Structure 1
Amino acid sequence: MDLRLSGKVAVVTGASKGIGLAIVSTLLAEGVRVVAASRGSSEELEALAGPDLVHVAADLMEPDAPGLVVARAAEEFGGLDILVNNAGGRPPGVTLPRSSFFEANDDDWRAVFEFNLFSVVRAVRAAVPLMLRRGGGSIVNVSSANGRQPSPMNVDYGAAKAGMNNLAKALSEEFGPQGVRVNTVSPGPVLTPWWTEKGGAADVIAAMAGSDHDSVLNKVAPEMMRLTTGRLVDPQEVADVVALLASPRSASTTGADFVVDGGLLKAV
């Protein structure tokens, strides 16, 4: 299916690995010109190098950074059609998951909200005027199933993502009539470096459960979270939904939240 994305311009944050890398690769394959933002590059992102890809090194917790990243799209490619707010998760120096509300102090909460919500607010603030100049656009915020299912594990992160979901609804109401669609994608546990890297979620849970890294990824975590599919989500499965929402094929879809969670959420 032709997603009718060829020639569009996109900004993707958190682009060097995991879900963000899969999104960048997918959009490039659809003919999109992409500004990819992340703190640093990666071998995988560099392998995608070409005239349609610009990498911007940015720490999105810096207040000016989201706006500067969005501005590069106009500088490099003349405007902006798509914004994918994918950067999120644990801020630098923070260990997740946490198992209790009392494990996070005020500074921890501020850091999680800066990274997972305030950076999105700032990116949208910069992106919407550019989109309006082109008659519209698509904003896709990568949220989390934790934003819909409260839990004592990572309560600060879940609260930030719930705020993102509310933000998307509000933005869709204000700017939808002007052609800017805003949607969220809510992944469950995804097989990314957040889980797999040394000291990541798999190692933290292994220590809690008296297990080991590989057993957590393949058995303990899927069983603990009662995943219907019995496995963690593949990043490409999230990227495919993001690409569809970015596409004019989804012209009547706005203010929606698409769950890609392996069956984590059980409520209707």
Structure 2
Amino acid sequence: MDMRLAGRVAVVTGASKGIGLAVTRTLLDEGAKVVAVSRKAGAELDALAGPNLVHVAADLMDPDAPALAVERAVEVFGGLDVLVNNAGGPPPGATLPRFGFQTPSDDDWRDMFEFNVFGVVRAVRAAIPHLLKSDAAAIVNVSSVNGRRPGPMNSDYNAAKAALNNVAKGLSEEFAPQGIRVNTVSPGPVRTPWWTDEGGAADIIAGATGSDRDAVLDGGAAQMMALTTGRLADPQEVADVVALLASPRSGSTTGAEFVVDSGFLKEI
């Protein structure tokens, strides 16, 4: 199926690994021009190098970074059609999961919202004037199922993603009449470096449960979270949904949330 993304210009944040890398690769495969935003490029992103890819080294904790990335897209490719706000999760220097409400400090809460909410707000604010000039503008925010299911872990992260969902819904109401669609993709647990890196979620959960990281990754986490599929999702499975929502083929879809969660959410 032709996604009608050829020649479209996209900015993707958190693009050097995991879901963001998969989104970047998918958009390039569909013929889009991509400005990939991350603190460092990394070997896998470097392997995608070509005329349709520009890397912007930026830390989205810096209030000026989102606007600089958007302006770079306009400077190099002449405009902007798609903004994928994928960067999120633990702020730089933090690790998740955090167990218990008392664990995160005020600074932890501030950093979590700075990275997962304010970084998105600033990117959207910078992108809107350019997206209004596009004939098929789309914003896709990557949130989390944890924004819909509060729990005794990661209360700061869960609240930040709930806020992000609310912002996206409001944006869709305001800007759909002006031609900008805004949608949300909410992954469940995805087999990304957040899980697999040394000291990441798999190691933390293994230490808390007396297990080992391979057991956590190969089924323990899925069992603990009652994932219907029995496994963590693959980043490409999330990227495919992001690409469809970015595509003009989703022209009547806005204000929606699409869940890619291996069956984590059970609610109707």
Normalising by structure 1, we get a TM-score of 0.99
Query: CA–CA distance in 2 between the matches of 1:219 and 1:30?
Result: 33
Structure 1 residues 134-143 or 213-222, which shifts more? Answer: 134-143
Letter of the 1:119 partner, please give it: G
Tell me the equivalent position of 1:7: 7
Contact 1:136 1:178 in 2 (8 A): no
In the other structure, the counterpart of 2:16 is 16
Question: Deviation of residue 219 (structure 1)?
Answer: 1.7
1:136 Cα deviation (Å)?
4.6
Contact 1:17–1:44, Cα closer than 8 Å, also in 2 = yes
The question of 1:201 aligning with 2:201 is answered yes
Question: Residue type matched to 1:245 in 2?
Answer: L
Aligned to 2:70: 70
Match of 2:27 in 1: 27
Q: Distance in 2 between matches of 1:166 and 1:67?
A: 22
d(CA) in 2 for partners of 1:245 and 1:135? 15
Could you tell me which residue of structure 2 aligns to residue 213 of structure 1? Answer: 213
Amino acid at match of 2:46: E
SS at match of 2:90: coil
**Structure 2 matches for 1:96-135, cutoff 5 A?**
96-135=96-135
Secondary structure at the counterpart of residue 185 of structure 2: strand
Contact 2:13 2:84 in 1 (8 A): yes
The CA distance in 1 between the partners of 2:261 and 2:51, in whole Å, is: 34
Q: Percent identity?
A: 71
Q: Following the alignment from structure 2 to structure 1, what is the Cα–Cα distance between the partners of residues 92 and 26? A: 27
In structure 1, what is the equivalent of residue 86 of structure 2? Answer: 86
134-143 or 58-67: bigger deviation: 134-143
Shift of 1:162: 0.4
Using the TM superposition, give the Cα deviation of residue 95 of structure 1 relative to its aligned residue in structure 2, in angstroms.
Answer: 1.8
Q: Give, in whole Å, the separation in 2 of the partners of 1:227 and 1:135.
A: 39
Distance 1:158 1:49 in 2: 35
CA RMSD of aligned residues (A): 0.6
- Check the 8 A contact 1:165/1:184 in 2, yes or no: yes
Cα offsets for 1:10-31 (capped at 9, x unmatched): 0000000000000000000000
Q: Which runs of 4+ in 1 moved over 4 A?
A: none
Cα distance in 2 between the residues matched to 1:132 and 1:43:
34
> Is the CA contact 1:135–1:178 (under 8 Å) kept in the aligned structure 2?
no
Gaps of 5+ in 1: none
| 1:176 and 1:182 in contact (8 A); partners too | yes
Shift of 1:134: 2.3
Name the SS of the counterpart of 1:103 in structure 2.
coil
Please state how far the C-alpha of 1:212 moved relative to its aligned partner: 0.3
Match of 1:225 in 2: 225
SS in 2 for 1:140: strand
Report deviation, 1:93: 1.4
Q: Is the Cα contact below 8 Å between 2:136 and 2:248 reproduced in 1?
A: no
Could you tell me whether the CA contact under 8 Å between 2:142 and 2:187 is conserved in 1?
A: yes
2:156 partner letter: D
8 Å Cα contact 1:23-1:240 kept in structure 2: yes
Q: CA deviation at 1:237?
A: 0.1
What amino acid maps onto 1:226 in structure 2? A
Cα deviation, residue 71, structure 1: 0.8
- Cα deviation for residue 152 of structure 1 reads 1.5
